[in-house]
Chain A
Amino acid sequence: MSKKMPETPLLDQLESGPWPSFVTGLKRLATAEDKPYADMMKSLLGQLEHSYETRKGYWKGGTVGVFGYGAGVIPRFSEVADRYGESAEFHTIRIMPAPGFFYDTKTLRQFCDIWEEHGSGLIALHGQSGDVMFQGCRTDQVQVAWDKINEMGFDMGGAGAGVRTSASCLGPARCEQSCFDTLRAHKVVIDSCTDDIHRPSLPYKMKFKFSGCANDCANATQRADIAVFGTWRDDMQVNQDEVKKKVTELGRKEFINQVIRMCPAQALALNDDDTLDVDNKSCVRCMHCINVCTKALKPGRDRGIALLAGGKRTLKIGDMMGTVIVPFMKMETDEDYEALVDFGRRLLDFFADNALEHERLGEMIERIGLVNFLEGMELDLDLNMITRPRTNPYVRTDEWDEEVRKWNDRKAGAAE
């Protein structure tokens, strides 16, 4: 006989209101009496209601995995299994989706079928790192569910002290503003790290994220140890006829308010004939004017990427933004993408050799100093790496002349 639905007076209050309700979804699963997971989901609803009553969580970790991999399954065992036994084991399998989160319905339906047979019927699209999260699996079903998902051509995502599943904006697939192929970069970089995803042995987690421009739709700056951004070096593309149309559409005053005055570099002016005057040397490639004038303005043609390193949230030493470590790399040819993959491999090696246990990349750079990091990674110093030069005099400058020579050599090299 099937289990009785638990009383859930608190969760029931989350079924009203216009936004789609996850509680209604959980109940659909719990009342699907012909499905193997119905009792598990009744039990889960009971435990969740208990959390709502007592305002505490009741899951603990443990060790669950699949053959050949050391990460990717998030074990969850209930601390109140005596009361909610059918969901005593409720593990998550993390799966890497295609870059840009593209699917066809055949794939999603197959996911659903597998998860109806072996899991809870609950799938999160997607987790904060970018995984498909197949939530709610008994220990004895993890391997068989994973085998079926893997046979579809999907691989397990990252967890623990390794490379994590990545995320990217949809880039050139549908956006005219993307300055490189975010989806390709995502795939080639992460595919070069599968060993560090599946058998984590780094000091701590390592996240790459890919955004096609400074709008950062992949939320990379603060969330990725390595944030890859699209940018350009030459002049922005301007279609003056479309500028004039935009001035007419917004009115001159609003065009000045919304475009000219909002430029952080004060690089824009409106000419007397309602065309745009751009000071490209002052432009910081921030994307604002391009966002407002999507028909009139575009990034330049000499496109590539910038790399920022060290973004992370609070633990342990405090919040950190990523900061520039490579201001520009061309990203067009196969060799360019190969160079990015090579950078990623060298970075992982340097991180593995130099970071302390449980130390993120940004914390490591903070501890050893950006200059030591650059020298270790053999990256060229660049003025785009700083907001301003140092303001305190506590520094030894013994090798000043040698450093001046290096700078002059590089300048001469660039001029050739």
Chain B
Amino acid sequence: MTELRRPNECGVPDAKQFMPPVLVKNYGKWAWHDRPRPGVLRHVAESGDTVYTVKAGFQRQADVFTIRRMCDIADKYCDGHIRFTIRSSVEFMTDDEAKVEPLIKALEDAGYPVGGTGNSVGFISHTQGWLHCDIPGTDASGVVKAMMDQLYDEFRNEDMPNRVKITTSCCQINCGGQGDIAINIQHTKPPVINHELVSGVCERPAVIARCPVAAIRPALVNGKPTLEVDEKKCVCCGACYPPCPPMQINDPVNSKIAVWVGGKHSSTRSKPMFHKLVAAGLPNNAPRWPEVAEVVKKILGAYKADARPWERMGEWIERIGWPRFFEMTDLPFTKYHVDNWRGGRTNLNASAQLHF
């Protein structure tokens, strides 16, 4: 056997080695920025240097042919520099204004829409789904592709009151994170347990400890140690499934999709907000999830028509009130929208302020 190579524990690479020279030169010395058109940012340094950034969308799960095509464009227009954003858009930078229009054309000709800046609907942040996750209730790349096809114009224009960040998550762990709109799996039935496998696969005390409502207890089935779930207590969160795959939570029919709104990370204007449940029980309808797209478009339409400039989704709803939001979106309001988890009382209306 050949000797194994010891890793070089080199840590995080230095960013400056990859930056366009104009960024290195003006590092920490930028003066202002604006957006000459949707999809393009202009940053001007104290030195007077200017850099144009063209932002484009692509499929995050990228094949090498896609990556090389983007590299060809970066070689031609950006001296071989390229960067990606936190939410998986791609950015091409140049200090030559004359290259901006040809760069935009090259990107759009290659099929990469230019946009995602300012008050647009940005690329949807997504997770792994059926392509690669070990616990997914739905797909990720497919949901995002289906939604972005419908939101294509909203990505390429800046017609929203403020930026709209949409996320998807294939289970309730919610790796996609908080969003102005979040599209997440919501299981509706307790796990189905394969008692033959539990004792061989699962560390039972650890599984019991994972349950947020203490619904799991040890049991003996056919003489074998296993686990059982108090189905009345179970909140179908799926927390037991990752540490114990024989407790199958995913269900082709009963794993539904829920839509949440008004999440916000920034502390800009209002403090950060969690997203709030507005629709559930939508079918996990691969390959294009039309029922989900319909709800998302309805919410976006109401926000676009009614919110004031700079109001994020959550801020708009807090101003107009939830009764008006449900009226404008024509979504049903049910007992399941009322928060009964620990701390949920802070989500009740403790005032005489009412909407009619």
Contacts from A to B (Cβ < 8 Å) = 10-11, 13-14, 16-23, 25-26, 28-29, 32, 48, 51-52, 54-61, 66-69, 74, 76, 90, 92, 96-109, 111-112, 115-116, 121-126, 128, 130, 135, 143, 146-147, 150-151, 153-156, 166-167, 169-170, 172-176, 178, 181, 183, 186-187, 190-191, 194, 198, 214-223, 229, 254, 257-258, 262-264, 284, 286-288, 291-292, 294-295, 313-319, 321, 357-358
Contact = CB atoms under 8 A, between A and B. Distances in A.
B74 to A, nearest CB: 5
B113 A104 contact: no
A69 B5 CA distance: 11
A121 B63 CA distance: 6
Nearest to B58: A20
B38 interface: no
Given A220-B265, A294-B34, A25 B127 contact: no
A388 B217 CA distance: 40
Contact of A57 (B136, B176, B210, B239): B136
Interface of B: 4-15, 17-19, 23, 27-28, 30-34, 43, 51, 53, 57-68, 70-71, 74-75, 80-86, 88, 90, 93, 111-113, 125, 127, 129-139, 141-142, 145-146, 148-149, 152, 172-178, 206, 209-210, 212, 237, 239, 245, 250, 252-253, 255, 263, 265-270, 272, 274, 284, 286-288, 308-310, 341-343
B145 A22 contact: yes
B177 A313 contact: yes
A297 B164 CA distance: 24
Contacts of A286: 267-269
B28 A181 contact: yes
Contacts of B18: 98, 102-104, 107
B286 to A, nearest CB: 5
Contacts of A55: 138, 250, 252-253, 255, 284, 286
23 contacts: A17-B149, A25-B63, A55-B284, A61-B134, A96-B12, A104-B82, A112-B64, A116-B64, A122-B62, A124-B62, A143-B4, A153-B13, A155-B13, A173-B15, A175-B30, A191-B12, A216-B266, A222-B265, A288-B310, A313-B173, A314-B173, A315-B237, A321-B274
B177 to A, nearest CB: 6
Given A22-B59, A61-B134, A318-B343, 15 more contacts: A19-B152, A52-B287, A55-B138, A57-B136, A76-B134, A96-B12, A97-B84, A170-B83, A222-B265, A222-B274, A223-B265, A257-B308, A294-B33, A313-B177, A314-B173
B274 A103 contact: no
B176 A147 contact: no
B11 to A, nearest CB: 4
Contacts of A198: 7, 9
Contact of A176 (B33, B212, B284): B33
Contact of B132 (A126, A135, A154, A190): A135
Given A105-B75, A223-B177, A155 B266 contact: no
A125 B62 contact: yes
Contact of B7 (A16, A67, A101, A103): A67
A147 B86 contact: no
A172 B27 contact: yes
Residue among A10, A128, A167 having the largest count of chain B Cβ atoms under 10 Å: A128
B12 A101 contact: no
Contacts of B245: 60
Contacts of B134: 57, 59-61, 76
Contact of A257 (B145, B177, B284, B309): B309
B1 to A, nearest CB: 12
B269 to A, nearest CB: 5
A156 to B, nearest CB: 7
B93 to A, nearest CB: 8
A104 B92 CA distance: 11
Contacts of A13: 287-288
Contacts of A287: 266-268
Question: Chain B CB within 10 Å — which of A18, A121, A183 has the most?
Answer: A18
A291 B35 CA distance: 12
Contact of A124 (B60, B75, B130, B139): B60
A40 B137 CA distance: 24
B61 A122 contact: yes
